[in-house]
Amino acid sequence: MALFRRRAPKVTRVATDGKVEERKTLNLRGSKVEIRRIEEAPAKPKKQKKARATKPQPAAPKAKNGLSTSRVSGRRPVDDEIIVPVESARKQMLVSVSGSQTQVVILEGPVLVEHYVAREDTSSVAGNIYLAVVRNVLPGMEAAFLDFGASKNGVLYASDVKVPPGAKGKRIEQVLKEGDEVLVQVTKDAMGAKGARLTGLPSLPGRYLVLVPDSENVGISRRLPDDDRTRLREIINKVRPEGFGVIVRTAALHATAEELAADISRLLRDWEKIQEAARGGGAPRLIHQEPELLIKVIREHFTPDFRKLLIDDRDAHDKVVRYLQATAPDLVAKVQYYEDPIPLFDRYHVDDQLKKALDRKVYLPSGGHLVIDRTEALTVIDVNTGKFVGSSNLEETVLQNNLEAAEEIGRQLRLRDIGGIIVIDFIDMESEENQQKVLRRLKETLARDKTRTQVFDVSHLGLVEMTRKNVSAGLLEHFSRKCEHCAGRGIIIDESFRPRTAPINQASAEVEA
């Protein structure tokens, strides 16, 4: 076909004496024809000198509460929009106790969305307050390692150190010395080779709010409606004790002034006991212990929008009832003792869903699937269309698959309790509008998650980066152990690359001969 391609006309432009002459040569029936066009040259706009842009210098980082640090904040989320979660009207909580293990699950309809497990041999220490002793201070890391009684020392960063009077702006080695006793709280359990994360700015969580000593800040959950935020702020300003900050939780949506005041009084008594116990010295030792997992989950999650709470153990049932009678009497009627001969988790198909949640691959309703891989640094989630072929066009097929995947990813992160850095490889979409639709669906699903998350915009490689607060071990870590043969890599090395050598005794015999 190249033989029949029309040749483009030859065009020449010449500028002389303020005029532009354009010459165009055409081939018409074997003859060359030249066409000339002369125009006045446009006036050249005067170039304005641009002011030399000065590169803005980053401001010196400021620690919110702790000592000064050289760390600079990195990327920010794509926006600060707060998406109010649409709560399910069919939420239920199930508690199953078997021997030394207690499991708590949350269902939205028939779907399992969250799971918590506590064992006597692997209990979490997050939230506990200790009197710790400084073992070594590392100025180059702007951190100190403290012995608080665990097998591994915990790490305390400069930004989490309580600033003594007159020490503002000082470095960590000027405030902490080896052998000092410090009151600290565990914010993150030890994981793998890393020790626990500590803070010298403890806080006491209650049913409706969190009490922060040595602070004057008042924060209210941004998930609450504006009218309720205004009402709660007015109440807190009246009942907040001087020298204490308060963070109002989502559970305080329908709380009265009397209930909030009672919660503050209860936490104040706990703080006075902590201070009294810490005066005795003798670090390292435990000063204040968080309640067991069952009560902690009830405190954090059980709200009036739950239909019921089923417990298959009489002692656990009585314990929950006593706690709710003291903190939220209106919820006691929703607590039921499960006596059916069919096991509680079998009746609600919890075991089947847990087994699927431990698998690497997650199937989507339309035929696509997710592949979830954990690494030392981050978690990678790959989205595939699988058997889903759509009906209209490729872009619409990819959009529908990605929307399904975004919703399922939000559920899997909660159920598997995956924390840290998460990278999601959605199927590539050409339309930026469709990319925003998928991001919006992901954020709407994550809005139901009580754990703090941050979602960033789609990167140049088409990846979505996000973070989820990492507090303790996830579902997979609770119900698995490393393979003894491959040490957790999932492969066994083929050692056929080694050259075959004769045994030593045989080789020495040949030399003697």
The answer to whether residues 275 and 137 belong to one domain is: yes
pLDDT at 202 over 90: yes
The whole-angstrom separation of Cα 457 and Cα 447 is 17
The whole-angstrom separation of Cα 268 and Cα 239 is 12
Quote the pLDDT of residue 318.
Answer: 95
Quote the pLDDT of residue 508.
Answer: 55
The answer to whether residues 269 and 147 belong to one domain is: yes
pLDDT at 1 over 50: no
Quote the pLDDT of residue 81.
Answer: 60
The answer to whether the CB of 144 falls within 8 A of the CB of 176 is yes
62 domain residue, yes or no? no
Find the CATH number of the domain harbouring 413. 3.30.110
C-alpha pair distances (Å), 260 with each of 217, 223, 230, 237, 254: 17, 18, 15, 11, 10
What single-letter amino acid sits at 115? H
The answer to whether residues 201 and 335 belong to one domain is: no
The answer to whether residues 230 and 330 belong to one domain is: no
Helices (H) and strands (E) in the chain, counts: 11, 24
323 domain residue, yes or no? yes
Run of H or E residues at 102: strand 101-108
Confidence (pTM): 0.76
Quote the pLDDT of residue 88.
Answer: 60
The answer to whether residues 189 and 151 belong to one domain is: yes
Give long-range contacts, CB 8 A cutoff, 24+ apart: 374-382. Answer: 374/418, 374/476, 376/192, 377/420, 377/421, 378/420, 378/421, 378/422, 378/423, 379/418, 379/420, 379/421, 379/422, 379/423, 380/422, 380/423, 380/425, 381/409, 381/422, 381/423, 381/424, 381/425, 382/425
Domain that holds residue 302: 91-122+292-348
Quote the pLDDT of residue 138.
Answer: 93
384 domain residue, yes or no? yes
The answer to whether residues 328 and 342 belong to one domain is: yes
Find the CATH number of the domain harbouring 239. 2.40.50.140
The answer to whether residues 206 and 318 belong to one domain is: no
C-alpha pair distances (Å), 274 with each of 94, 130, 269: 33, 9, 9
The answer to whether residues 380 and 465 belong to one domain is: yes
Q: Encode pLDDT of 95-132 as tens digits.
A: 999 888 899 999 999 999 999 998 877 778 999 999 99
Nearest to 150 by CA among 122, 114, 117, 176: 122
The answer to whether residues 99 and 142 belong to one domain is: no
More confident residue, 323 or 4: 323
Number of domains in the chain: 3
Tell me what the mean pLDDT of segment 227-255 comes to: 91
Q: Encode pLDDT of 4-60 as tens digits.
A: 344 555 656 656 556 666 666 666 556 666 666 666 666 655 555 545 544 444 444
| pLDDT tier, 486 (very low <50, low <70, confident <90, very high otherwise) | confident
pLDDT at 280 over 60: yes
- Tokens 């005066």 correspond to 279
The answer to whether residues 216 and 322 belong to one domain is: no
68 domain residue, yes or no? no
Tell me what the mean pLDDT of segment 305-320 comes to: 94
14 domain residue, yes or no? no
pLDDT at 62 over 60: no
Average pLDDT, the chain: 84
45 domain residue, yes or no? no
Tokens (6 digits) for 68: 């000064």
In 3-state terms the chain splits into helix, strand, coil percentages (rounded to 5) of: 30, 30, 45
Q: Encode pLDDT of 364-403 as tens digits.
A: 988 899 999 988 889 999 999 888 776 778 888 899 999 9
16 domain residue, yes or no? no
144 domain residue, yes or no? yes
| pLDDT tier, 491 (very low <50, low <70, confident <90, very high otherwise) | confident
Helical spans, DSSP H, in 240-382? 257-278, 293-301, 314-327, 344-347, 350-357
The answer to whether residues 136 and 255 belong to one domain is: yes
The answer to whether residues 383 and 457 belong to one domain is: yes
Nearest to 316 by CA among 332, 347, 331, 295: 295
Find the CATH number of the domain harbouring 341. 3.30.420.60
% of the chain with per-residue pLDDT over 90 = 51
The answer to whether the CB of 240 falls within 8 A of the CB of 210 is no
The whole-angstrom separation of Cα 170 and Cα 173 is 8
